[in-house]
A and B are shown apart, each in its own frame.
Chain A
Amino acid sequence: MRALEPWVEAPLQSFLAESSARLTLLMTSSGQVVAQHGFGRSLDIMTAAALGAGIVASTEELARLMGGSRFEALMHQGSRQSCMLSAFSTPRGRWIALVVFGPETSVGIVRLFFDAMVQQLATAAPREPVRPTPLLAEDFEHELDASLKALLGR
Chain B
Amino acid sequence: MATHPSPAAFEAKFLELLFARRAVLFALIVFAIIALLCAFASVVAPSDPAKMSVRDRLTAPGADFILGADAFGRDVASRLLFAGRVSLSVGLGVAALSSLVGVVLGLCAGFFRQLDAPLSRLVDAMMAFPDILLAIALVSILGGSAVNVILALAIVYAPRIARIVRASTLVIRELPFVEAAMALGVSTPAIMVRHVLPNILSPIIVQATFIFAYAMLAEAGLSFLGVGIDPSTPTWGTMINEGRQYIDQAAFLILYPGVAISISVLVLQLIGDGLRDALDPRLAKDL
A binds B: no
